[in-house]
Amino acid sequence: MSYRYAYMESYISLPVSSGIQGHPDRGRIRLREKCWHMDLTDTDDTQRAHIVCDDEAMPSVADFQVEQTALVYTQAPIALGTALVVAFLLAAGLWNVVDQGQLMLWLGLQVVQTMFRAVVVWLYRRSTDIARRHTRWAQVYFAGTLASGVIWGCIGLFIGPDMPVTHQVLVIMGLAGVLAGAISSYAVLMPVYIAFMVPAMLITAQSMLLHASQSQHVMGVLFIVFAGALMIIARNYSSSVAKTLALRTENMDLLERMSASNRVLEGEVRDRKQAENELKRDRLLFTRGPVTVFRWRAEDGWPIEYVSRTVAQFGYDADELIESRTSFSSLIYSTDLQHVEQAEFDSNDSGLVAMGIDYRLVTAAGDVRWMYDYTVPVRDEHGVVTHYAGYLLDITDRKQAEFELQREKDRAQTTLNSIGEVVITTDVNGQIEYMNPAAEQMTGWEAGMELPVDCRWRGYSACSMTAASWPSRRPWRRHYVPAEPSSQERILYCRNTTPAGTRYSTRSRRC
């Protein structure tokens, strides 16, 4: 089974206020869903594909609203502080012009709503990431902004026919500045900015339009036009923020994919480096060890196409053998050449066709060394054998040890056959394994006969044949055991064949 990373494109619908102006997909944003595309192979070698998608990796409308809410709360402290400072400045400028009690009431409402919203911002920052995803944070901020817009609009109620024009301009300029500055703080969530600007604009414009003064009517109309321009600017700003969030989401998605690709590449590089180290270690084992690697052409005489430099242990130069295309058969001991030519390849348990053979090789100095040759055939795309590849291992020491062991074995066998003493060997179960000619002559048993032996008697080595080893017609049935056998005494059951028949007797012998 293999798998790969894949992404599926999808669209989510956003409020119109969050759309991107002039974009063909206005009101919706293209997203990508993270999926695993797995190529599965059935038992009948049938290829089939299976796609598993991670729903948690797919952004949604809620995700964008969470991001927008986070931006609003991030800029809230500066917005609240600036608005409170402007409120105090306006109160100071209007202190001697309007009713001071009403002005203090308006300023007190500003302080209360600012403190309430500051507490909300503090709670938001102390909450966990999971808690911040709840929609109540946006709802509470919306309610606080709406209250703030109403309070800011009430300052327009102070504008009257008796107010000097300079102070009327001061109120309009202060309120216009607050509405313009609120774009960067509230327009991220367009409903929040609308909730702030509409009451502030309508209350002030109504107050100016209700008076009979023509100049105040003009100022009211200009204020409405200015508020409309601010609305368009705020909407464009909101669209830019939505586009930026969409791009950031795609960038984060791209970054995640790049990180996943980097992890895969790092794993491949690590595996390849490990494989290279293992290959280097194996190569050093062959190039610096006792093994000689070779490659011959499948032609008469087996011309050498490659041989490792470890062939120098036999006095040959690897480069010279390769350049001269020396026939490998010329290096084999003449007596063993026919044996090598007649050797056949066999298949092992894993299905690999190979051949292992021992033969002698003549060194450059003329010495003869025993070799173990392991060879596999190399075939082309048509299945024709073109080369032979394998390795040579010097086993001269092992062969000499085998020859010495066989020589000692033959010498011991000759000695046992020639001495007159009885020699009998058994295994741990008492089964006779060997009898020399003197033992066969004494007991009448032959070495090839099956002689089960039961060796037990009070911890001594007294031996007796089991009942099953006696012939069906035997003169007695009881085993013979001496009264007081010593630890070195053995009881032998002897078989004597005469013209009158076969008789069995016992003999006591000391080892």
Cα–Cα distance measured from residue 115 to residue 294, given in angstroms and rounded to the nearest whole number: 88
The confidence score (pLDDT) of residue 486 equals: 45
* Confidence grade of residue 53 (pLDDT, cut at 50, 70, 90): very low
Structure tokens at 104: 């203090």
Mean pLDDT of 112-134: 91
pLDDT in tens, 243-272: 887 787 778 778 888 888 888 889 899 999
> Which ranges of 44-135 does DSSP label H, i.e. alpha helix?
61-93, 100-126, 129-132
Cα–Cα distance measured from residue 508 to residue 463, given in angstroms and rounded to the nearest whole number: 10
Q: How many residues does the chain have?
A: 511
Cα–Cα distance measured from residue 335 to residue 472, given in angstroms and rounded to the nearest whole number: 57
* DSSP annotation of 11: E
Structure tokens at 287: 């190039």
**Percentage above 70 pLDDT, the chain:** 72
The confidence score (pLDDT) of residue 507 equals: 52
**157 pLDDT more than 70:** yes
Q: Counting Cβ atoms within 10 Å, is residue 35 exposed (0-12), middle (13-18) or buried (19+)?
A: middle
Beta strands across the sheet bearing 28-41 = 2-13, 28-41, 47-53
Q: Counting Cβ atoms within 10 Å, is residue 113 exposed (0-12), middle (13-18) or buried (19+)?
A: buried
Structure tokens at 354: 């190979």
Find residue 2's DSSP bridge partners. 39
* Confidence grade of residue 350 (pLDDT, cut at 50, 70, 90): low
Structure tokens at 58: 């797919």
Cα–Cα distance measured from residue 437 to residue 423, given in angstroms and rounded to the nearest whole number: 8
* Confidence grade of residue 510 (pLDDT, cut at 50, 70, 90): very low
* Pick from 37-51, 401-415, 471-485: least confident: 471-485
Sign of torsion over alpha carbons 240, 172, 113, 110: positive
Cα–Cα distance measured from residue 111 to residue 119, given in angstroms and rounded to the nearest whole number: 12
The confidence score (pLDDT) of residue 212 equals: 59
Mean pLDDT of the chain: 75
Residue type, 373: D
Q: What are phi and psi of 480, to 5 degrees?
A: -95, 125
Cα–Cα distance measured from residue 117 to residue 145, given in angstroms and rounded to the nearest whole number: 8
Sign of torsion over alpha carbons 42, 45, 46, 47: positive
* Domain ranges within the chain, ordered by starting residue: 61-257, 289-400, 421-510
Cα–Cα distance measured from residue 468 to residue 336, given in angstroms and rounded to the nearest whole number: 52
Structure tokens at 387: 């080369």
Taking the domain 289-400, which CATH number applies? 3.30.450.20
CA angle 198/203/208 to nearest 5° reads 125
Residue type, 47: Q
pLDDT in tens, 391-435: 898 999 888 898 889 888 888 878 877 777 777 777 777 677 777
Structure tokens at 183: 């774009």
